[in-house]
A and B are shown apart, each in its own frame.
Chain A
Amino acid sequence: MPAKIIVKDIRKSYTSDRGPLPVVAGVSFEIGDGELVAVVGPSGCGKSTLMSIIAGFDRPDSGSVSIDGAERTKPSKKGILISQHGSVFPWLNVQQNLMFGLNGHTHGDKEGLADHYAAMVGLKGFETNYPHELSGGMLKRAELARALVVKPEILYMDEPFSALDALMNLRMRNELLRVLGEERHTVLLITHDVEEAIHLADRVLVLSACPARIQATFEVSIPHPRKLSSPEVQNLREAILRELGVYTE
């Protein structure tokens, strides 16, 4: 698999009252084209900073990120960020939100395209609803569809489902897998939920406590659909949790 994203020795510190506070300390990895890589790590430890840098919103102090061999310095439509709190515009209805990224005249039938993706994520019939009329799960679907409409090559998902309740979280994971089955994208997923990582990812990277480095890598070779109660998944989960310093026995 050719490398789509190459992250090379990223470092980032923030300034605090007591001098520089390193949050990311030399993170390197590669993501293959069409691969879904999950990064898990303890809360409040550089995960979102790392995502911000990879998606192009933030600059690292040193190190580089390249996409398809070209260095990434600013965000672009090629990779869309989906974050925990969401960024569906509350003042636009679902269809207008989905058409937001379709600027210029190169997209042809924008409404048709928006409606196609609304249907793909299960929002058919809600095109004219405003976000405040939707549930949390539906908002996530709208956000996912808005990203898919612009045909991004990469999805950056930063704790995408962690604001949802457990049931909706599980449902959205299955939904994401179904959508990715229809349209393959390269996905970088950041989460603190180990089970979610195993459920979705081809590979799981475990980050250390602050400052973040990659501490371990786990290949997830279990074929889809994955049964979360299977011994393989449970063993892997325990191994990852142990890596994070949590013992389940």
Chain B
Amino acid sequence: MARGRITAVRPVVVKKAWPSLMVAALLIALWWILVVESHSVIFPTPWQVLTGMWELVKDGSIWDHIGASLFRVGTGFALAVAFAIPLGLWMGWVQGAYATLNPIFQMLRPISPIAWIPLAILWFGVGNQSPIFLIFISSVFPMIVQTIAGVHTIERRYLRAAENFGVSRYTLFKQVVIPAVLPHIIVGMRIGLGVAWLVVVAAEMIALRSGLGYLIIDSRNAGNRYDLVIAGMIIIGLIGLMLDRAMRLLEGHKLVRWRYAR
């Protein structure tokens, strides 16, 4: 797999992105034509969306919304990482812990984070804590599951070698278990961060006074500003893409490159 290698040079990147850019341009053109042809009064043209976005940039409010959303995702996600990785390692390593806790997590996992919103409001009010809690809930399970899977799929020959050399428990974890699981943890983090970004927008639509989700709902409520609604959606998409790219950079780190080589 060549995925995760970051040796690609610029012209190659541009060449690869070319078809997607073409399709995007076509879609925008189609959108524009449809809006003009249908004489819609509410639905904005791409140009209106662009000027709407510029308005947000000019008065600076866009940065506050992005900052608020990123802060919530960052905090909730960091808490989830700090919780999920040690727990996943423990559950993966200790059979009893797995047998006891896994059924509970499997039951909690399919509950949509959106379903937790009423409880979040009840417990944490409508401040920053609610969305942080929802992000924690949404990203913690995929990371636990991936970490456990990582421990369970460590090849026996490596564990045997460690046993053969009679290394301490500390060395076993530091030099065998954790490096072996790390690629799985990174996959879990990518999934977790993706879900977190989905959820923060949904959570902000309901309760708060800032953030990209709030921007969308508020733009609609305050005078049907659909240009701003779509501008918000596009910004959410672009930031989500950047977050995923950033996580992918981790896959190129030398500690996990072995997983993708060959």
A90 contacts the other chain (Cβ, under 8 Å)?
yes
A85 contacts the other chain (Cβ, under 8 Å)?
yes
Complex alpha-carbon distance, A80 and B261, angstroms: 28
A116 to nearest B CB, angstroms? Answer: 18
Asked whether A77 lies within 8 Å of B164 as measured between CB atoms, the reply is yes
Q: Which residues of B, 206-262, contact A by the 8 Å Cβ criterion?
A: 254-259, 261-262
Q: Known: A87-B158, A90-B258. Contact between A81 and B179, CB under 8 A? A: no
Complex alpha-carbon distance, A44 and B171, angstroms: 34
Residues of chain A lying within 8 A (CB to CB) of residue B254: 130
Interface string of B172-183 (1 = CB under 8 A from A): 000110011010
Q: Known: A131-B258, A132-B261, A132-B262. Contact between A92 and B179, CB under 8 A? A: yes
A206 contacts the other chain (Cβ, under 8 Å)?
no
A23 to nearest B CB, angstroms? Answer: 18
Asked whether B167 lies within 8 Å of A103 as measured between CB atoms, the reply is yes
Asked whether B157 lies within 8 Å of A87 as measured between CB atoms, the reply is yes
Complex alpha-carbon distance, A91 and B257, angstroms: 8
Asked whether B171 lies within 8 Å of A103 as measured between CB atoms, the reply is yes
Interface string of A49-92 (1 = CB under 8 A from B): 00000010100000000000000001111001101011101111
Q: Known: A81-B160, A103-B171. Contact between A89 and B176, CB under 8 A? A: yes
B40 contacts the other chain (Cβ, under 8 Å)?
no
B99 contacts the other chain (Cβ, under 8 Å)?
no
A101 contacts the other chain (Cβ, under 8 Å)?
yes
A64 to nearest B CB, angstroms? Answer: 20
Residues of chain B lying within 8 A (CB to CB) of residue A86: 157
Q: Known: A89-B175, A100-B175. Contact between A76 and B258, CB under 8 A? A: no
A150 contacts the other chain (Cβ, under 8 Å)?
yes
Interface residue from B160, B167, B168 paired with A87 (Cβ < 8 Å): B160
Asked whether A89 lies within 8 Å of B158 as measured between CB atoms, the reply is yes
A54 to nearest B CB, angstroms? Answer: 13
B166 contacts the other chain (Cβ, under 8 Å)?
yes
Complex alpha-carbon distance, A100 and B164, angstroms: 11
Interface string of A125-140 (1 = CB under 8 A from B): 0000011110000000
Residues of chain A lying within 8 A (CB to CB) of residue B168: 103
Asked whether B167 lies within 8 Å of A101 as measured between CB atoms, the reply is yes
Asked whether B158 lies within 8 Å of A92 as measured between CB atoms, the reply is no
Asked whether B157 lies within 8 Å of A91 as measured between CB atoms, the reply is no
Asked whether B167 lies within 8 Å of A100 as measured between CB atoms, the reply is yes
Asked whether B157 lies within 8 Å of A85 as measured between CB atoms, the reply is yes
B34 contacts the other chain (Cβ, under 8 Å)?
no
Asked whether B165 lies within 8 Å of A91 as measured between CB atoms, the reply is no
Asked whether B163 lies within 8 Å of A57 as measured between CB atoms, the reply is yes
Residues of chain A lying within 8 A (CB to CB) of residue B262: 132
Q: Which residues of A, 188-246, contact B by the 8 Å Cβ criterion?
A: none
Residues of chain A lying within 8 A (CB to CB) of residue B158: 87, 89
Asked whether A77 lies within 8 Å of B258 as measured between CB atoms, the reply is no
B108 contacts the other chain (Cβ, under 8 Å)?
no
Residues of chain B lying within 8 A (CB to CB) of residue A91: 179-180, 182, 255-256, 258
Complex alpha-carbon distance, A14 and B179, angstroms: 33
Interface-centre pick from A55, A74, A83, A90 (highest chain B CB count, 10 A): A90
> Which residues of B line the A interface, CB within 8 A?
157-158, 160-168, 171, 175-176, 179-180, 182, 254-259, 261-262
Closest 10 CB pairs of A and B: A101-B165, A132-B261, A91-B179, A87-B161, A90-B258, A87-B157, A75-B164, A77-B166, A91-B258, A103-B167
* Seed contacts A77-B165, A87-B160, A100-B161; 5 additional CB < 8 Å A-B pairs: A89-B179, A90-B258, A96-B175, A101-B166, A103-B168
What are 24 contact pairs spanning A and B, CB under 8 A?
A: A57-B160, A57-B163, A77-B164, A77-B166, A81-B160, A86-B157, A87-B157, A87-B158, A87-B160, A89-B179, A90-B258, A91-B179, A91-B182, A91-B256, A91-B258, A100-B162, A101-B165, A103-B165, A103-B166, A103-B168, A130-B254, A130-B258, A132-B261, A150-B165
